[in-house]
Structure formats: structure tokens, C-alpha cells
Amino acid sequence: MTSHVLSQLRSLEAESIHIIREVVAEMQRPVLLFSGGKDSIVMLHIAAKAFAPARIPFPIMHVDTGLNFPTVLACRDRWVENLGIQLVVASVQDAIDRGLVQEEPNGSRNRIQTPVLLEAIEKNGFDAAFGGGRRDEEKARAKERVFSFRDDFGQWDPKNQRPEIWSLYNGRVHQGESIRVFPLSNWTELDIWSYIAAEEIDIPDLYLAQEREVVNRDGMLFAVNEFTPLKEGETSETRSVRYRTVGDANLTAAVESDATTLQAIVEETAAVRVTERGATRGDDKVSEAAMEDRKREGYF
Amino acid sequence: MSTTIENTAEAMTDGSVDLLRFATAGSVDDGKSTLIGRLLFDSKTIFEDQLDSVEQVSQDRGNDYTDLALLTDGLRAEREQGITIDVAYRYFATPKRKFIIADTPGHIQYTRNMVTGASTADVALILVDARKGVIEQSRRHTFLATLLGVPHIVVCVNKMDLVDYAEDVFESIRKDFTEFASRLRVPDLTFIPISALEGDNVVNRSENTPWYDGPALLSHLERLHVASDRNLMDVRFPVQYVIRPQSHDARDYRGYAGTVASGVMKPGDKVVALPAGLETTIEAIDTADGPVEEAYPPMAVTVRLADEIDISRGDMIARPNNTPAALQNIDAQICWMDSDSALVKGKKYAIKHTTRWARAMVKDINYRVDVNTLHRDEEATEIKLNEIGRIQLRVTQPLFVDPYQQNPQTGSFILVDESTNKTVAAGMIGGLPHSS
């Protein structure tokens, strides 16, 4: 007789499948927010599992900042093709050209993604948007529900969240309101990597270590490329680096690493002592409450 | 600091690591944040940049020491007011288990948050200050944990360093607590003398308590046998979604997707689909990774049946000789969770039970329970925020239910306000978990 105990990764996977199916069964028009990063890829992989042998019954949406690493876009297109799903692209560059948003002085398009995202959700009539956020990422996220209610301005009100008891999720909304759904809420960075390794999931090669030309700016290593060219007076060097997160190409830094395989990344992640955002994301270092503020405005 | 816990990548991937969810309850002063901080710190879950940020904020405020509570207080309003607003979820892992902590604040909206945290918990951790003994709050937390059917309760008698690690202090608290708990249904009750601040009996057994022969808290949590808590007897499979591919290669496929609520299902098993009452056989149990020989909780699977019968979301698959009760009149304990309204007789709500939505009307309020004294007020005419009561509901269609204490998955429901769409109550079918 077997023990009838599910391993923790399979328990997390089952919970995520349950959440995704619940949304599809109850909401009118869900969409999956896809960034091309590891978390949204894992979420998409699990969504495909939830409806097999049928196709995923909702589109995915990429809020395209125009600052993507080319290999991330290539990976996105492979997933769209392999799963036979519809891709909606909401372009930040287009929104800048139309005057919906303005470029920020520091070159970050992180914050101005929000109006673009909200516009696309409204225009397409999406009433539920899956996001790959995890509660272990950040303190504000640790208190967010799996089904996170958004008012008709797309705003999150942390003090007025719906209680979430057992796995009885409540996605009821009025016209114009929506929910963000986080199927990976209970996953940690280590879980994500363990799962990618176990399932051999296709991810952008940026996550794997290789020799890259980098420049050191305030302790953060940026790969020298068309998004982050060498500034005057800077010198570059060649180091074995990889990316722990994949954000905008002009702001995402690499970390020194010899992890050239998925299993090596799992081992490195288990031993690492700095959060992924702290290590690599210039855009998250703005203030202690940066994430909370962006989430209130309607960020992912 | 005591010996650190090693996270090994191998253990995470090879399937030998299982999941344990525990809820902590306590107020500002009982050392709950310190205890969680120590578990996270000793398991290397607190990262350097998180610690830096907390140290910086502590310094900015002129604190003498690094305030570990800042690690768990996530929202700006909380940091500004020095309070905790909501349930926060924390994660750490050892080579044996991954742990999910539902960290619930003790002071405001305590009942609502504790109920939320305890609803999914295998274990409730209750902190008792060794100097104060069993107080009203300890009783309240224990009552709520048993109401929610948490199978294991661990009482951490904290701040043992401040009572000179005296055995008689610990024993006296154990005696008081056991006496109180005997009025409730507590399947497994454990007492551990600790000092969260000094680390005694948290990760390693302490030399300061030679009279204590039990395990340290973490080893206890690692070894707790929770598999047998799951109901593997009664097959309950609420149909969540019907999978019918609109593609050429799988045109005849019809599968019922869902999460196994309880019981073990196998291909070839005779089953009955409710409410239709039609009997058939399980042909196969599919997953995206191929068919499986058996499905048990909490697996998410897709069941194919031998006969074509009309089944949709909200229906329930069970065994013909072991079915849940089909009830339209529901007797339940509820915890009210909404600050803007109260439950009153005659009011109508939307009700969600497993994967089924219906409407429900409050037929009667039997009593309201004082969560501190367990006194029942039978004159109560309403149940407000953070209050618990026993009520009678009339539902528009039959629900397929089991008593909550026997099967939390099919014994629980939520009430939703039909105008605001807010979740206003958590409901548990059947009476109080009293031994009387």
C-alpha cells in the first residue's frame, strides 16, 4: 500500500491547478499575464496541465515595455506556438506614442506599465487576470489574497481584502471590477526552480550562467548590450553570470554564478542569502513601500 | 545562534519533502514575532537584504535593538502604527518538510484572522507566557483552533528564561491548559517549554531544561504525523470543471476535473454521481502526466466515467454505499467576518459549498458563543464581526455535506453578501466540537 502523501511540490502544483480551474469555471473572461519570466512560465505550464487534453481556454497577455531581452521574446513565442494559445500584446511604447503615459526620467518603464495594463484589461473586458506573484517575494505580497479584488480603477485596498477561508474562493465582481489571481502564492523561489528542473520547463537561456561582458554599477552587474551600453569612463569585464529575474533589459542586473544547468540553479538558490529582487532589480530599490504603492495603483 | 538548518536541493526535488501548514496565534508581547523570526533565521530564510532593511528602519526609529517584528509587518499602515492588520504567510523549509506559516495577529480582528489562518492549518501553535500562565487569550485561540478542526495543537510555554526554567511553572501551566482543553475536542495536544529569544527548545533541545524529555519545537513539527489526519475513507469528488476538448484528435474525450476532497479513488471503482443519483464506474483517472492508479487528497485530477451521464460543475462523485447527506436545511457554526454588516434572521446570502453556489436564508439564530468563556447566549438576535454563533440555514438547492469535524472539505462553506459581493462568513456544518 502506498502512503497517500503527496510531495510538497506536487501539493503546490495541485493547489495551483485547483485555483486556475476555479477561475475558468466562475469568471467570464480570464487572461494570464505573461512576462516571459520564470514565474509566469511555470504558471502557464501548470495552466496547460489543468485543462489537458484540451487547450488552455483563455488568452495570455504580455505587457510589452519595449525593453525585452530578445531571447525572452523568442521563448514567449515558442510557448504561444506550442500551446496554440492566443497572445494579446499591450505595448508600452505605443502608449507613450499615444500620450497615455510618459517616459520616466530614470528610464524605468516599470511604473508606467500599470496604466497600460489597466487599459488593456478594460478594453478587452477581462474580469480576471492571473499573475505569477509569490508571497515570499515581498512583504506586501505576503498579505495579498490568492483571489485579490480590484475596484473599477484597478486598485488594491490592502485594508479591505475579502477573507479567504479554506479553498473556497470568491471571485464575484460587479461590472468593471476585476480580480487578480495568484496561483503561485504559496511557492518560494526554490520551489519554482525545483519544479522547473523536475519538469524540464523551457525558460529563457538568460537564467543559465555563461561568460558575459558586464559592467559593475554600484555593486550590480549589468550585461553590456544595446540596452545597457558602456558609459563614458566605465570599463567592462568578462564574468560568468546569470539572471535571477528577467525584467526590463535596461534595469535588470545579473549575478555571478557558475550554474549552467537547472539542477545547479536549484542548488545555488538553496544556498543564496539575498532576495532575488534585492540582488537584481534597480526598480524595486526605490523605497521600503515601493511594491505596496505600485500594487495599490494596480500593478501586477 | 544555534545550529543552522540545511536546505538541500535534492530533498526539495526528490519528492521526500512534504508540506505542513501551521497557524500561529498570539498578541504583541508574547514573543510570537520573535519565535517566527528565529525559525526563519535559523532555517536561513531571512535574507541579508531583508535583515539590512529591518536594521536600517530600526536605527532610523532610534530603537536599541533590531525589531524582528518588522520582518513580518508588511504594509505601510502597519509599520506606521506598529500593528499587524492581516494574516501574513511565511515560508521555510528543512530537509524533511516545507512549512507554510499563517501568522495571525492577536489583537485586532483576532477571530476573523485566526479562523482564516486555522482553516487550512495542520497544526496550531499557541504561545503562553510562562509568567502569565493560561489567560483568556490562550483559551480563545484554543477554542477557535478546535472549532476549525485543527488536528494538532502545540502549546509553546514561552519566556522560560524569565522563570529560571522552572519545571513546576511549566507543569502548572500544562495542568491548567489540559483541564481547560478537556472541555474541547483536541485530538493531539503537546506542550514545549521554550525561550524564543534565547532559542531554548526551538531548533535544538536546551540544556536549561534537563527535566524536559520531549523534542524541540522544530523537530516536533518535522516529525508530526499529519498524513493520517486526511480523510481517506469517504470518497468525495466535487466536480469543478468539465473538460471537453474542441479538437479533432480528442473529440470524444469527456473528463470531470476536480480536486479530491477525501477518500481514495481507483479506476474500476463503482461510483454515484449526485444529485442525479446515477451509478457508473470510474474508467480512468487522468492527469497531464498520464493516467494514475489512484487519486487521493489533495490531488487535482480528471476522472473519466464508463457511462455517459449528465454531470456538471457543482455535482459530487461518491461511492454508492457511502454518500454525503443531501441537505437543504443546514445546521452550522459560523464566524462573522464583515465589519459593515451583521447576520440577522431572515436575511439572504449567496452560499458557496465545495464547487457549488446557491442562495441561503437565515431561518434561525440558536445562540452566540462567547469565545472567551464558551458561554452560549441564546437570546442573541444578531452575529457581528468576530463573533461565533450557531444558526439554521435554508438553502435553495440541496448541498452534499458531511459534518465538518468528520470532513472539513465537504463540511465547510462561505456566505457572500449579494449586494457587496464580500465574503461575510465562514461556516462549519454540525454542532460545536464539545465533548459533552
Q: How far apart are CA B306 and CA B272, in angstroms?
A: 12
Give phi and psi for A226, each to the nearest 5: -65, -25
- CATH code at position B15: 3.40.50.300
Asked whether residue B4 is domain-assigned, the answer is no
CA dihedral (B286, B288, B290, B291) in degrees, to 10, reads -10
Is A180 in the same domain as A213?
no
Give the pLDDT of residue A262.
95
Yes or no: say if A13 and A47 are a contact pair by the CB < 8 Å rule.
Answer: no
- For residue B256, the surrounding DSSP H or E stretch is strand B255-259
CB contact under 8 A, B91 and A186: yes
Asked whether residue B25 is domain-assigned, the answer is yes
- CATH code at position B403: 2.40.30.10
Instruction: Count other C-beta atoms under 10 Å from residue A225's C-beta.
Output: 14
Chain A residues close to B402, C-beta within 8 Å: none
Is A278 in the same domain as A293?
no
End residue of a domain, out of B289, B318, B347: B318
Give phi and psi for B228, each to the nearest 5: -75, -10
Q: How far apart are CA A280 and CA A284, in angstroms?
A: 9
Is A63 in the same domain as A119?
yes
Number of structural domains in chain B: 3
Chain B residues close to A139, C-beta within 8 Å: 71-75
**Beta B241-243 vs B255-259: how paired, if at all?**
antiparallel
Between B137 and A263, whose confidence is greater? A263
Domain of residue A163 covers 8-190+288-297
Asked whether residue B162 is domain-assigned, the answer is yes
- CATH code at position A135: 3.40.50.620
- Range in A245-249, B223-227, B257-261 with the lowest mean pLDDT: A245-249
Sign of CA dihedral B12, B13, B18, B19: positive
Is B36 in the same domain as B81?
yes
Region for residue B391 given its phi and psi (left: phi exceeds 0; alpha: psi -120 to 50; beta: otherwise): beta
Closest residue to A275, CB basis, from B12, B47, B288? B47
**Is residue B2 over pLDDT 70?**
no
Is A119 in the same domain as A230?
no
| Proportion of chain B above pLDDT 70, given as a percent | 87
Chain B residues close to A263, C-beta within 8 Å: 9
Is A173 in the same domain as A261?
no
Asked whether residue B368 is domain-assigned, the answer is yes
> Cα B84 vs. chain centroid, distance in angstroms?
19
Is B293 in the same domain as B342?
no
A-B Cβ pairs (cutoff 8 Å, strict)? 213
Per-residue pLDDT of chain A (300 residues; tens, 9 = 90+): 467 889 999 999 999 999 999 999 999 999 999 999 999 999 999 999 999 999 999 999 999 999 889 999 999 999 999 999 999 999 999 999 999 999 888 778 888 899 999 999 999 999 999 999 999 887 778 888 999 999 989 898 887 889 999 999 999 999 999 999 999 999 999 999 999 999 999 999 999 999 999 999 888 899 898 888 999 899 999 999 999 888 888 888 899 999 999 999 999 888 876 666 666 665 554 455 666 777 777 777
Is A246 in the same domain as A103?
no
CB contact under 8 A, B240 and A25: yes
**Is residue B431 over pLDDT 90?**
no
Asked whether residue A257 is domain-assigned, the answer is yes
CB contact under 8 A, B245 and A54: yes
- CA-based nearest residue to B128, from B186, B196, B43: B196
Which of A1, A2, A3, A8 to mutate against chain B (most B CBs within 10 Å)? A8
CB contact under 8 A, A266 and B257: no
Q: How far apart are the first and last CA of chain A?
A: 45
Sign of CA dihedral B370, B373, B374, B375: negative
Yes or no: say if B7 and B106 are a contact pair by the CB < 8 Å rule.
Answer: no
Asked whether residue A196 is domain-assigned, the answer is no
Complex-level ipTM: 0.92
Is B379 in the same domain as B411?
yes
Q: How confident is the model at residue B5 (pLDDT cuts 50, 70, 90)?
A: very low
Is A138 in the same domain as A237?
no
Is A210 in the same domain as A108?
no
Is B292 in the same domain as B389?
no
Q: How confident is the model at residue B78 (pLDDT cuts 50, 70, 90)?
A: low
Q: What is the pLDDT of residues B268-314, one digit of tens each?
A: 999 999 999 999 999 999 999 999 999 999 999 999 999 999 999 99
Is B214 in the same domain as B329?
no
Burial of A38 (0-12, 13-18, 19+ CB in 10 A): buried
Is B127 in the same domain as B178?
yes
Is B164 in the same domain as B206?
yes
Asked whether residue A1 is domain-assigned, the answer is no
Percent of chain A as helix, strand, coil, to the nearest 5: 35, 15, 45
End residue of a domain, out of B271, B299, B318: B318
Chain B residues close to A44, C-beta within 8 Å: none
CB contact under 8 A, A292 and B8: no
Q: Is A93 helix (H, G, I), strand (E, B) or coil?
A: helix
Residues ≥6 apart with Cβ < 8 Å to B337: A163, B112, B115, B385, B386, B423, B424, B425, B426
CB contact under 8 A, A21 and B337: no
Yes or no: say if B369 and B375 are a contact pair by the CB < 8 Å rule.
Answer: yes
Is B202 in the same domain as B266?
no
Is A134 in the same domain as A241?
no
**What DSSP letter does each residue of B147-182 carry, written as one string?**
HTT-SEEEEEEE-GGGGTT-HHHHHHHHHHHHHHHT
Is B26 in the same domain as B152?
yes
Extended strands (E) in chain A: 30-33, 60-64, 87-91, 128-130, 147-150, 178-181, 210-217, 220-223, 237-242, 255-256
Is B31 in the same domain as B155?
yes
Domain of residue B409 covers 325-429
Is A183 in the same domain as A40?
yes
Asked whether residue B1 is domain-assigned, the answer is no
Average pLDDT estimate for B86-96: 86
Give phi and psi for B118, each to the nearest 5: -75, -20
Asked whether residue B182 is domain-assigned, the answer is yes
Closest residue to A14, CB basis, from B71, B246, B298? B298
End residue of a domain, out of B229, B258, B279: B229
Is A33 in the same domain as A168?
yes
Chain A residues close to B264, C-beta within 8 Å: 4
Yes or no: say if B12 and A270 are a contact pair by the CB < 8 Å rule.
Answer: yes
Q: How far apart are CA A114 and CA A68, in angstroms?
A: 17
Is B243 in the same domain as B122?
no
Is B165 in the same domain as B243?
no
CA dihedral (B338, A171, A160, A114) in degrees, to 10, reads -170
Number of structural domains in chain A: 2
Q: How far apart are the first and last CA of chain B?
A: 46
CB contact under 8 A, B17 and A163: no
Grid cell listed for B398: 440541496
Q: How far apart are CA A181 and CA A177, in angstroms?
A: 13
Yes or no: say if B216 and B204 are a contact pair by the CB < 8 Å rule.
Answer: yes
In DSSP terms, which residues pair with B393 in a beta bridge?
Answer: B330, B362
Find the residue in A nearest to B412 (Cα). Answer: A166
- Range in B52-56, B175-179, B266-270 with the lowest mean pLDDT: B52-56
Residues ≥6 apart with Cβ < 8 Å to A275: A137, B47, B49, B50
Q: How far apart are CA A14 and CA B115, in angstroms?
A: 23
CB contact under 8 A, A143 and B355: no
Asked whether residue B2 is domain-assigned, the answer is no
Q: How far apart are CA B391 and CA B199, in angstroms?
A: 45
CB contact under 8 A, B48 and A273: yes
Is A55 in the same domain as A144?
yes
Chain B residues close to A220, C-beta within 8 Å: none
**Is residue B436 over pLDDT 50?**
no
Give phi and psi for B157, each to the nearest 5: -85, 100
